[in-house]
Every structure is written in structure tokens, then in C-alpha cells.
Amino acid sequence: MIKRYSLPRMSAIWSDENRFKKMLEVELFACEALARLGRIPRQSLFQIQKKARFDIERIREIERETNHDVIAFLKNLSENIGEDAKYIHMGLTSSDVLDTALSVQMQEACDILIDDTKKLLRILARKARLHKKTLMAGRTHSVHAEPTTFGLKMALYYDETRRNLERLKRARETISVGKISGAVGTYANIDPFVEAYTCKRLGLRPAKVSNQILQRDRHAEFLNAIAITGTSLEKFATEFRNLQHTEIGEVEEHFAKGQKGSSAMPHKRNPIVCERIAGLARILRANALVSMEDMVLWHERDISHSSAERIILPDSTIALDYMLNKFMDVVGHLVVYEDRMLENLEKSGGALFSGRLLVKLIDRGFTRSEAYDKIQRCAFSARKDSIEFKDAVLRDNGIRSVLNEKEIEEVFNVKYYMKNVDRIFRHVGI
């Protein structure tokens, strides 16, 4: 991922330094296990633990010759350890080290994403509580539907984000698995104790069965959880972008002092962060698709997944970390124009209350079809004559035959759309 969309803590997890560090941990814990089995002399284990270190530039130099990163890594370790290096990697295959180390990196990355998501939840909860009773027009098909509140919109996002948190937690559990079972997973040259010991030291579970690699449905689940979370952020951001339309103008991204909106039009205040989130979400979905392609490998494994994973795992975790942090800032500093919400609510001339009137007329003996047609005619005539919907209803003799003026006034009272807001908030847990 380019630096523009990278935050230091997440980027460090995918650095060569951290990758080789995790690989070294796998090798050292495997040596400890072999020593417990009597396969490595205690003095040799001591020397390995004392001298084992790596130099990234030296590994790269060796890899230019060997064209194999794990062999280059092991050769560099051997240069530093000396004679006792013969016990390093004994009975292991490259993927034992690579896949187990990768699982630890994914754990670390997922922990950051989980922490980010928890922070976003707190910000969404505060915004929801602040605007619990902030009236606005609810829209379906981009057209006024019924009154709602901006707080309910935020509560909806809170609840979805909580589901994403659970997805990320499940994904972390799914990828918290290691394998040290040899070339095709039969433990032919390595005792299963080595796998159990190494995985325990690393905070992983041993795979119940593997071939040369951990199966990539685990990685696909991880990347799909990331993609779904990112798509939720895009969904929320797209709503803010829509509400920032000049013709709507109900919310706006915070515009910092000195910020510019357009190189050509000085008046512009654009929702650039929300748009950036929308663009990065496309990358996450594309990478999730690649992760599913990586599930299909030849026989006990091929290496076609490796090159893709070197891109999609860092890029997706780094991008989502960036997106979550940016969206926290968007929500936390979102400018909400409550007066404009009320102004827009009135633009339909009261037609938003047609659904409540429909229920009222059915209660008074109309069939649903009769009531619907009568109310629709009132709504269309009000729009045609540029009058309030309520006035069109008041002059309709059929409706007036079952509802008096006071009862009609009650239909147009917003309190009926507010009465369950508190209940919904309690149900959501805000």
C-alpha cells in the first residue's frame, strides 16, 4: 500500500523486519521443541538462541542468487550461528515457517482493526445519542418517504458496525492457526509435538489437518470480513455524500482552516474523505475476490497464492485501518444542519404523513385499496395545485366523512414517528 493511505502501526506489521522476526520465532520455538524431544543437544540450542539473528540486506543479497527467500533467510541465520545451524529447520518445509509466521502477522493486523472498530463504535454511539430526536426526512428511492431522525440513522450504522466487529473477531479466530507438519502434512520428518509446542508459544492452534500449507479458506474468510467492513464504511460515507448535495445540504464533512476544495472553483467544499473511503472499499472487495481464487491450488499445493497474498494481505489490512481512522474523524467532526433537515422535511408539503393516514382510514372501515386511491389522489392534487397535503385531505369529502379536523391534525403530528425512538435505542444498546 502506498504511504498516502498507510498508518505506521499497521505498516510495521507487514515490514520485512517483522516478517523475518516472526519466521525466526517459528524456527526458534521449533528448536526448543526438538530439544525437549532430545533431537537437539541443549548446548546447541543455547548457541542457536544466543547467536540467531538476521540481516535483511544480506538476505536480499543471498536471495538474488538462490531465488528462494526462505533458503536465503536460513543461510543468513547459518552464517551467524555457525556449526549448530544444522539443527535449524530440521524436518520442516518452507511453508511450515511462512504460513505459521503469516498467521501471527494476520493476528496482529486483526487486533488493530478490532481496536479501530471499537473506537468507531463509541463515536457512532455518541453521534446517535446527540441526534436521537433530530428530525429529518427519511428517503426511499431518493424520494421523501416518512419522517425519521438522524440519530436513528446513526444507530443503524452503529448496529452494522457492531456486526462487523463480530466478523473481525471470528476471522481472527479462524486465522489463528499454524502448521508444522512437513512437506505434505504427514509429519513424516517432524514430530507433531513440535507443531503443538510452537503453535502454543505463538498463541496459535495447530491445524487439525494440512497438506503443505494452511488451507486458504481461512485467509479468504479474513479478507472477506475486511471487505464487508470496508463496504459498510462506503455505505455510510455514500449517505453522507448524498446528504451533502447542495440541493439537500443536511450534513457536511468538516472543512478545516486553510483547506481547499477545488483548484478552479474557490467556493467548493467537497466530501473528499468519504469519496476516498468509497474508492478504497473497491480495492478491498477486489482483494477479497483474489483471496477466494487463492483457495484453489494444485494437489498438495502450488505457489500461485503466494505472490497474490504478498499484495492483498498487507494492502487490505493497511487500507481498512486507514479507512476506519478516517471515518472516525468524519463522524466525530460531521457538521449536521438541523434547520436544513426541518426545512427539507417540509418540502413535501406534508405528504410524508400519507402512510399514517392510510392506517387511520383502514381503521375507520375503508378497504386498503379504497383508502390508498383516495389518499393518492389527494397527494397528487396537492402537488398539482401547490397546496399542503393536509389542505387537500381536509377538502376531501370522503375522508372528512370519517375523520374530523382534529383527527386529521393528529395524523400530521410528528410525535407518532418519535414515540419508539427510545425503545429502538434501548434495543440497539446505545
Q: Which of 141, 142, 267, 369 is catalytic?
A: 141
**Type of residue at 90:** M
Chain-centre distance for alpha carbon 163: 10
| 161, containing H or E segment | helix 150-175
Sheet strands (E) in 266-385:
335-336
Q: Give φ, ψ of 344 to 5 degrees.
A: -70, -35
Q: How far are the Cα atoms of 241, 246, 328, 337, 388 from residue 252, in angstroms, in the given order?
A: 8, 10, 14, 8, 30
Q: Which helix (H) or strand (E) holds 176?
A: none
Contact of 328 with 277, CB cutoff 8 Å:
no
Closest CA to 426 of 167, 116, 128, 118: 128
* E-state strands within 289-379: 335-336
Burial call 373-404: b when 16+ CB within 10 Å, e when fewer? ebbeebbeebeeeeebbbebbeebeebeeebe
Number of Cβ within a 10 Å radius of residue 352:
23
How do beta strands 135-140 and 143-149 pair?
antiparallel
> What ranges make up the beta strands (E) of 244-333?
251-252
Helices (H), 14-93: 16-36, 42-51, 56-66, 69-81
181-198 core/surface letters (b: 16 or more CB in 10 A; e: else): bbbebebeebbeebbebb
Active site residue 141: yes
Catalytic residue chosen out of the listed positions 15, 262, 304, 307: 262
Q: What angle do CA 54, 58, 61 make, to 5 degrees?
A: 145
Active site (annotated) includes residue 305: no
Distance in angstroms (rounded) separating the CA atoms of residues 320 and 106: 13
What is the DSSP secondary structure assignment for residue 85, as one 8-state letter? G
Report how far residue 45's alpha carbon sits from residue 265's, in angstroms, rounded to the nearest whole number: 69
Is the Cβ–Cβ distance between 326 and 239 less than 8 Å?
A: no
How many whole angstroms separate alpha carbon 54 and alpha carbon 77?
Answer: 6
Residue 409 CB neighbour total at 10 angstroms = 12
Active site residues: 141, 262
